[in-house]
């Protein structure tokens, strides 16, 4: 084999969840004095009438006790464990100096520019505070094929709502974001979210913890998958945030916690955080914050790897991609060979590994005459897991089109159709988030993805914004798989065979 060409950039997933409630941004001093306590409520975690942040007390083991947020965003005092201190963490938005007001950063694509340190104007409420150690009895096998089933349900629903498009979703990104949100749900709302996500909340939390723990054990010479989470909430005098909600997300998701004014500077701050965590792959996740928004939960996942055997110049040449029976495209194809052949009754495909063999690109090409939409509909989590786990070791001649694609979808209808419509209703039950003058409910879920596949490997990014508001071996046989017509593809974990990206490529010439 020739030498590898150049290092791949990152596959990245990103999630943003915004929590809000109409009528909670009022300026009534009398209502601001509420300091309600109830089961699971953060006893002294809210906004005092005078706006003072009295204490953010973390025990030596990292437990978060009290968190007071001033309406103006100032953090007055904090008591934390000896090795850390909560303090004002003002990090300026793009182009902002010393707190000077600026407009939100523009929308230009900055994926190819150098990434500077994250620019945030917010108070870091977790400075010096760490999540507590978690004891979990769940193993990876407990999540198969459920996680693959969720990935397929999400991909199918998006494909149905956006027929004809190049669809790409990040089930890991969406799952992490919604799981953090589900920690604030109860009653029927929680039950419906668990049904849609495929697991009870304790298993969803344990999965996040397993992911984070596993990533710390991956050798540095293998593909690099990084996960980051953060929770942003408004400096609203009527908002009381429950301790358990924050602590659970800190323990299982390693969530950073910020307070912010929720104006245009917060839009810029969140986008800046996202841009850094995704290494510029997702330069912008939100355009504005609704007046009713009270909380934004952000998940970012970055993947960086090289092909185990990258393509060299002579392996790349133009070929024909058949978009349909009467529409063709001339596209550069990367030609090579692999040793993992995939097949079932209506498709065949292959697995191409990244360096370190921890992650891989998997593709399934429906048979001639089988529509890619019909094939996707026929797949179940159990069936797809079996296809991936039963890969045949043999010689496979392959060709992959070079492609770059973007996808943007609002997921409210998709998720409602998957069973969690209750979370979007005015009578949603999110009491575990905290208290405000009105009821919390998910207002909007925006999902964005980006992927580029070339000679060196793959880079991809994903973002999900959930806005919550309120009412008030030896080859045995030779196979050949040329991805020259619409196909299903995935980026998978080689240990669990679980997709963390799944897409349908219809036309490599289309970028969005």
Residue 41 lies in a domain: no
Task: Find all residues with CB under 8 Å of 6, minimum gap 6, and list them.
Answer: 456
Q: Which domain holds residue 481?
A: 313-404+474-505
* Predicted pLDDT of residue 63: 39
| Res. 368 pLDDT band, cuts 50 70 90 | very high
| Res. 111 pLDDT band, cuts 50 70 90 | low
More confident residue, 235 or 123: 235
- Domains held by the chain: number: 1
Residue 431 lies in a domain: no
Residue-wise over 296-321: b if at least 16 C-beta within 10 A, else e? Answer: bbbbbbbbbbbbbbbbeeebbeebeb
**Least-confidence region, from 51-65, 159-173, 228-242, 332-346:** 51-65
**Least-confidence region, from 94-108, 229-243, 408-422:** 94-108
Query: Alpha-carbon distance 239 to 24, whole Å?
Result: 7
Helices (H) and strands (E) in the chain, counts: 10, 19
Q: Dump pLDDT digits (tens) for 272-292.
A: 888 888 888 888 888 888 888
> How does the average pLDDT of the chain come out, rounded?
77
pLDDT(461) > 60: yes
* Predicted pLDDT of residue 227: 83
* Predicted pLDDT of residue 177: 92
Six-digit token pair at 184? 């604030």
* Predicted pLDDT of residue 43: 36
* Predicted pLDDT of residue 474: 39
* Predicted pLDDT of residue 62: 38
* Most confident residue range from 6-10, 67-71, 166-170: 166-170
* Predicted pLDDT of residue 96: 37
Give the helix/strand (H/E) hosting 29: helix 29-32
Residue 374: burial class (beta carbons within 10 Å; 0-12, 13-18, 19+): exposed
Residue 380 lies in a domain: yes
| Mean pLDDT, rounded, for 104-127 | 54
Helix segments in 416-469, DSSP class H: none
Residues in the chain: 512
Residue 374 lies in a domain: yes
Domain containing residue 348: CATH number: 2.30.39.10
Q: Give percent of the chain above pLDDT 90.
A: 40
**Least-confidence region, from 274-278, 350-354, 376-380:** 274-278
Residue 432 lies in a domain: no
Residue 482 lies in a domain: yes
| Mean pLDDT, rounded, for 9-28 | 45
* Predicted pLDDT of residue 511: 77
**Least-confidence region, from 31-45, 203-217, 327-341, 408-422:** 31-45
| Res. 476 pLDDT band, cuts 50 70 90 | low
* Predicted pLDDT of residue 55: 34
Q: Dump pLDDT digits (tens) for 386-399.
A: 999 999 999 999 99
Residue 452 lies in a domain: no
* Predicted pLDDT of residue 283: 86
Residue 364 lies in a domain: yes
Q: What's the pTM?
A: 0.77
Q: Dump pLDDT digits (tens) for 196-225.
A: 999 999 999 999 999 988 888 888 777 778
More confident residue, 77 or 169: 169
Residue-wise over 457-490: b if at least 16 C-beta within 10 A, else e? Answer: bbbbbbbbbbbbbbeeeeeeeebebbbbbbbbbb
Q: What would the DSSP string read from start to end of 112-168?
A: TSPPPSP--BSEETTTT--PPP------GGGGTTHHHHHHHHHHHHHHHHTTTS-EE
Q: What would the DSSP string read from start to end of 190-249?
A: HHHHHHHHTS-HHHHHHHHHHHHHHHTTS-TTS-EEEEEEEEEEE--TT-EE-HHHHHHH
Q: Dump pLDDT digits (tens) for 492-502.
A: 999 899 999 89
pLDDT(46) > 70: no
Query: Alpha-carbon distance 271 to 326, whole Å?
Result: 42
């Amino acid at each position: 084999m020739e030498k590898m060409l150049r290092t791949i950039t990152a596959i990245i997933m990103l999630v943003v969840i915004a929590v809000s409630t109409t009528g909670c941004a009022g300026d009534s001093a009398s209502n601001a004095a509420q300091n309600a306590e109830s089961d699971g409520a953060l006893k002294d975690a809210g906004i005092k009438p005078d706006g003072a942040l009295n204490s953010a007390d973390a025990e030596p083991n990292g437990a978060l006790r009290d968190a007071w947020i001033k309406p103006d965003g100032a953090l007055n005092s904090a008591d934390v464990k000896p090795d850390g201190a909560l303090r004002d963490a003002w990090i300026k938005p793009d182009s902002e100096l010393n707190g000077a007001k600026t407009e939100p950063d523009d929308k230009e694509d900055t994926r190819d520019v150098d990434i500077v340190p994250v620019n945030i104007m917010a108070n870091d409420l977790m400075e010096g505070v760490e999540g507590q150690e978690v004891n979990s009895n769940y193993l990876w096998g407990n999540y198969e094929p459920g996680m693959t089933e969720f990935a397929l349900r999400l991909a199918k629903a998006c494909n149905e709502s956006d027929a004809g498009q190049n669809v790409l979703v990040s089930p890991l990104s969406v799952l992490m974001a919604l799981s953090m949100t589900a920690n604030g749900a109860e009653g029927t709302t929680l039950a419906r979210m668990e049904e849609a996500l495929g697991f009870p909340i304790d298993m969803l939390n344990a999965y996040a913890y397993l992911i984070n723990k596993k990533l710390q054990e991956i050798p540095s010479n293998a593909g690099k998958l990084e996960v980051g989470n953060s929770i942003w909430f408004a400096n609203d005098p009527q908002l009381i945030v429950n301790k358990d909600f924050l602590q659970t997300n800190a323990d299982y998701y390693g969530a950073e916690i910020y307070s912010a004014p929720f104006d245009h500077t917060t839009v810029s701050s969140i986008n800046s955080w996202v841009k850094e965590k995704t290494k510029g792959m997702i330069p912008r996740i939100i355009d504005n914050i609704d007046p009713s928004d009270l909380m934004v939960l952000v998940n970012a996942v970055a993947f960086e790897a090289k092909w185990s055997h990258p393509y060299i110049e002579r392996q790349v040449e133009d070929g024909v991609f058949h978009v349909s029976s009467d529409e063709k495209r001339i596209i550069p194809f990367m030609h090579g060979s692999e040793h993992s052949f995939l097949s079932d009754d209506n498709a065949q495909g292959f697995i191409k590994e990244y360096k370190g063999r921890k992650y891989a690109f998997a593709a399934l090409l429906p048979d001639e005459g089988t529509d890619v939409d019909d094939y996707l509909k026929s797949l179940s989590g159990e069936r797809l897991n079996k296809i991936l786990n039963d890969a045949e070791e043999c010689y496979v001649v392959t060709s992959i089109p070079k492609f770059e694609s973007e996808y943007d979808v609002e997921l409210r209808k998709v998720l409602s159709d998957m069973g969690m419509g209750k979370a979007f209703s005015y009578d949603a039950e999110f009491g575990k988030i905290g208290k405000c003058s009105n009821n919390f409910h998910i207002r909007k879920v925006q999902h964005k993805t980006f992927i580029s596949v070339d000679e060196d490997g793959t880079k991809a990014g994903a973002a999900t914004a959930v806005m919550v508001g309120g009412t008030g071996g030896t080859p045995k046989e030779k196979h050949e798989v040329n991805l020259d017509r619409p196909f299903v593809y995935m980026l998978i974990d080689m240990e669990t065979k679980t997709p963390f990206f799944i897409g349908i490529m219809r036309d490599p010439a289309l970028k969005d």
